[in-house]
Structure 1
Amino acid sequence: MHLQTEVLVIGAGPVGLALAGDLGWRGRQCLVVERGDGVIGQPRMDLVGLRTMEYCRRWGLVGEVEASPYDRDYPQDNVYLTSLNGYELERQPMPSMRDEPAPPESPQHRERCPQNMFDPILCRFARSQPSVELLYRHEFLSFEQDGDGVTAKIADLATGAEKTIRARFLVGCDGARSAVRTQLGIDMQGRGLLTNTTNVIFRCPEFNRLHDKKPGYRYMFVGPDGIWATIVAINGNDQWRMSIIGNARERPEYTNEEIEAFAHRALGRPFDLEILSVLRWARMELVADRYHEGRVFICGDACHLTSPTGGLGMNTGIGDAVTLSWKLAAHLEGWGGPGLLEAYGIERRPIAKRITAFSTENLRTMKQVPTSEKLFDDGPEGAEARARAGRALAEGLRQEWFSMNIHLGNRYTGSPVIVYSEPEDPQAIQAEFDDAIHYRPTSRPGCRAPHAWLQDGRSTLDLFGRHFVLLDFGGPDAASHAFTAAARAAGVPVEHVRLAQPEIASRYEKRFVLVRPDGHVAWRGDAIPEDAQRLLATVTGHQGD
């Protein structure tokens, strides 16, 4: 059987579904091939980050995320303890999802929506696009590419029948063991294996009634050698995920009795629990050397593996998907040049290196907390040991709980499709890059265009997504009309939006700001360049033509 599509996506995890949905939202044809049946046996993520929620806003999915089965009234505190019936060392209070307000820097806030709840939302979004087709229980086998496209072979796992798919582009969203990345021969660099960890989903409806602590979202258990396990409220009700944190030397396979013993140690007493699933996995820090070759790309975990200590793996992958989607669509529509496709890895690899290093540092803080056997003593020395450990965790992990600059402050520097026409301070850029917490909205080229509320109740972010937007904070003039005329002549979709709100003009800093479909600034200035065609050629990837 021979199939044909514009973009073939391998893998229907959250990144593959987001890519397919966004391509379909842009009117492009997409076929998704997934080896599994779409059922999530054990959710690997549960945080939908701030930037991802902004994309969900763009796609009209915020209501579905908020209506997911997760108990939005459940408190989100992070709690450090010896055990739930032992000593509480420190607590980071956090509001429930219902009570958490959107910060001034965004129209949205983060959401707790585990993968078994979030993937179906993305799946419905992708399926709702007439140009998107999903093939579950089909396995990717191989591909060959030429100057015009990619020919891939897949197998129907129900019948064993092989099928051939012809596509203009292929994207591997097929995870840590990506077959697409392997066939491309792309290596990965980084610290490699960090720990061997075992995740256990168990059911215990009365869990929070078996101890005397205030409920929390994440309980982190401290022993003589640092944090050895965490338990999180996976649905805010009766299901919990216990992560038994191992090391990089051993890959244990625990029996159910041993797993129950770990749970009893965490609670501080025996109790009845129903083990629903067990997942043994390797915690890694790796980033791919490159993100594409010819017409074949990789996305999400296929190009970066990170510790979940920060909740950034899936959220970074969805950022990859949104950035890649508009570039592929531009190429398919005829106005995107080869430089756009080359820019994908140039822009996204530094972000992956940033988030993997950040997440590993959070893990290091957890594992190297100052502690000893005195932690369990009732006397003054024990109290001091607990206070010292609690302070170290509260201060060290603050950047994980309040990492707004990691989510919103990812600036693309050195991109061939962004115009950097102002003096740059490398030290200031590096300082912003190193700061996980303090996000400073700016319209400097390469940054996420800032959020501000429009007079009609919309966010400035609601203006972006479908095409380029030229924000104009001045009055009518011939230059802006000449720019949009040049864009029309080149077939580049640009919408000219004039805003007469001084407070927004102040936040955007320049009279003209050109925003890309992914919401990042492509260029800004107080005057339109005389050679508007050159500017357009650069931001659309035709600068070398």
Structure 2
Amino acid sequence: MLVDRHPGVSIHGKARGINQRTMEIYRAYGIADAVERAGAPFEAESGVAHCETLAGEWQWLFDADVPRAWPDVTAGAFCMADQNTVEPILIDAARSAGAEHLFDTELVSFDADAGGVIATLENRTTGERQRVSAEYLIAADGNRSPIRQKLGIARTGERTFQHTVNIVFRADLSAFLPRRALFWIIANPAGFHGGLVSTADPRRWQASIAYDPAEESTEDFTDERCARLVRAAVGEDIDVEIEGVAAWEQAVGVAERYRDGRVFLVGDSAHVWPPAGALGANTGVQDAHNLAWKLAAVVKGEAGDALLDTYDAERRPVAEALAPAIVAHQEARMSGRPEPAALDDRAQALGARYGAGEALGALAQEVRVGARAPHLWLGDVAVHDLCVDGFVLLCDSPEWTDAASAAGVRAHRAEEAEGWAERYGSGAALIRPDGYVAWCSSGPASATELTGAVARALGPVRSPV
């Protein structure tokens, strides 16, 4: 059950850049094509422009038409599609799989103990309340996360860069757009200092400006004032219709722990950082993907509760490695300085590593336990398309497929796949449901070894503590 306090999908254009790893996940769940169709209005956008007004001269902070597909390393291609268009796709997919999604419903309280979670929910329109009993609670309640605060979980490296107001408006800006950027950074003497981005609707736009919550609130941003700000950003007296105003914090901080008994933090409740690199929603999806298969294994009785501790152990170090790099990029971007080269696109999207050693590293294409499985095409299917509801064994002999059958693991012969020998060597590799390598062997096929590898990946089966 997903509880959403909002009355519906937000009109604010957020989470616009969907990276290759997230699209890889969406492919496995059969929704990548729908997401790509939702991103069609953004296909012509590239680069980041800096200007005094949209009608004036632009300077490009970066103007490269960066390739969105990396066919040598992943079947997922970067996609521009905002939350407003992607959320309905995710909601429909979840509901089709049996999930219940409740809009206009708020979690007002919860109690969690060794026996489970009791949550009190309230319909924000009718005031009607209900109590829900669950085994686990996932806090995906944003930067301020009331759930995290109730649990007393602090954040390391926490600071706020600025408070921002988003203004969603309708206007015809086609006369001022010789080409379309990913976004525009605009600063001028007329009083506009902020950014501008498009949405999937060609006449709907979003302007963002900094404000001081100690001196004003969103109520001070009347339609008249917002229209003036938009005209200042454009540099012309155009017709403007204001559709919505919302405030948010541009901040950084990583939760000290991602698990508190029966409760788990994901996305912005676990970590928050500025928008440079488009890693907010992407890492949120990847957090949830790491946690979901583990919850499924525990709920099905295939693994013990200790498996869930690995969620914090694997995902929190990745956030701690990303945070300072993203901050450095955002500060450079907003100052107009060249962005540092330390945050490699492929490393940030595909380089997360679990276990011993660095949590984020350069993308390697050789099989490695704890790293994402190297990309291969098995006919029309990519390796990561197979990673949905169970472990997968990639192998190069009938003896290994027999061993997999005896161990109850799905097997796929891969020796004829281009790149198999270079990326996987010989033998077999056991891949987790989230596409990460759990074990590999270059020795003779053995159902006993494979069964043991699965057991070690899942941990001992025992009741929750």
After TM superposition, the score normalised by the length of structure 2 is: 0.88
Question: Which amino acid in structure 1 is aligned with residue 420 of structure 2?
Answer: I
SS at match of 1:143: strand
Provide the rounded CA distance (Å) in 1 between the counterparts of 2:216 and 2:278: 23
What's 2:175 paired with?
209
Q: Cα gap change, 1:524/1:250 in structure 2, threshold over 3 Å: closer, same or farther?
A: farther
For 1:525, which of 441, 446, 455 is the aligned residue?
A: 441
CA contact (8 A) 2:85 2:200 kept: no
For 2:365, which of 427, 436, 441 is the aligned residue?
A: 441
For 1:164, which of 96, 118, 131 is the aligned residue?
A: 131
Matched, 1:112 2:80: yes
Provide the rounded CA distance (Å) in 1 between the counterparts of 2:367 and 2:123: 48
Return the offset for 1:272: 2.7
Q: Cα gap change, 1:409/1:510 in structure 2, threshold over 3 Å: closer, same or farther?
A: farther
- 277-286 or 520-529: bigger deviation: 520-529
What's 1:458 paired with?
381
Q: Cα gap change, 1:152/1:254 in structure 2, threshold over 3 Å: closer, same or farther?
A: closer
CA contact (8 A) 1:53 1:109 kept: yes
Question: Which amino acid in structure 2 is aligned with residue 40 of structure 1?
Answer: S
Question: Which amino acid in structure 1 is aligned with residue 387 of structure 2?
Answer: F
What's 2:91 paired with?
123
Question: Which amino acid in structure 1 is aligned with residue 289 of structure 2?
Answer: V
Return the offset for 1:398: 6.4
Q: How do residues 247-396 of structure 1 correspond to structure 2 at under 5 angstroms?
A: 253-369=220-336, 392-393=337-338, 396=339
Q: Cα gap change, 1:62/1:142 in structure 2, threshold over 3 Å: closer, same or farther?
A: same
CA contact (8 A) 1:198 1:243 kept: yes
Question: Which amino acid in structure 1 is aligned with residue 235 of structure 2?
Answer: G
SS at match of 2:298: helix
What's 1:377 paired with?
none
CA contact (8 A) 2:196 2:208 kept: yes
Return the offset for 1:317: 0.7
Matched, 1:411 2:376: no
Matched, 1:515 2:428: no
What's 2:9 paired with?
39
After TM superposition, the score normalised by the length of structure 1 is: 0.76
What's 1:191 paired with?
158
- 304-313 or 115-124: bigger deviation: 304-313
CA contact (8 A) 1:196 1:246 kept: yes
CA contact (8 A) 1:505 1:511 kept: no
Q: Cα gap change, 1:467/1:267 in structure 2, threshold over 3 Å: closer, same or farther?
A: same
Question: Which amino acid in structure 1 is aligned with residue 414 of structure 2?
Answer: L
- Render the CA deviation track for 1:477-508: whole Å, top value 9, x for unaligned: 4x7745653x44xxxxx212222226223112
How many residues are matched?
A: 456
SS at match of 1:67: helix
State the identity as a percent.
30
Q: Cα gap change, 1:519/1:347 in structure 2, threshold over 3 Å: closer, same or farther?
A: same
What's 1:472 paired with?
395
- 250-259 or 152-161: bigger deviation: 250-259
- Render the CA deviation track for 1:189-223: whole Å, top value 9, x for unaligned: 22321111121122112x13136x43323122356
Provide the rounded CA distance (Å) in 2 between the counterparts of 1:251 and 1:45: 26
CA contact (8 A) 2:303 2:461 kept: no
Provide the rounded CA distance (Å) in 2 between the counterparts of 1:160 and 1:544: 40
- 39-48 or 83-92: bigger deviation: 83-92
Question: Which amino acid in structure 2 is aligned with residue 413 of structure 1?
Answer: G
- Render the CA deviation track for 1:266-309: whole Å, top value 9, x for unaligned: 33333332222122221110111111122221211111112112
What's 2:57 paired with?
87
CA contact (8 A) 1:106 1:451 kept: yes
- Render the CA deviation track for 1:312-368: whole Å, top value 9, x for unaligned: 111111111111110011011111123310101111111222333232112110233
Unaligned runs of 5+ in 2: none
Unaligned runs of 5+ in 1: 1-30, 370-391, 415-425, 489-493
Provide the rounded CA distance (Å) in 2 between the counterparts of 1:85 and 1:161: 51
Q: Cα gap change, 1:196/1:506 in structure 2, threshold over 3 Å: closer, same or farther?
A: same
Provide the rounded CA distance (Å) in 2 between the counterparts of 1:442 and 1:132: 37
Provide the rounded CA distance (Å) in 2 between the counterparts of 1:507 and 1:251: 57
CA contact (8 A) 1:32 1:135 kept: yes
CA contact (8 A) 1:194 1:248 kept: no
CA contact (8 A) 2:135 2:262 kept: yes
What's 1:50 paired with?
20
Q: Cα gap change, 1:341/1:101 in structure 2, threshold over 3 Å: closer, same or farther?
A: closer
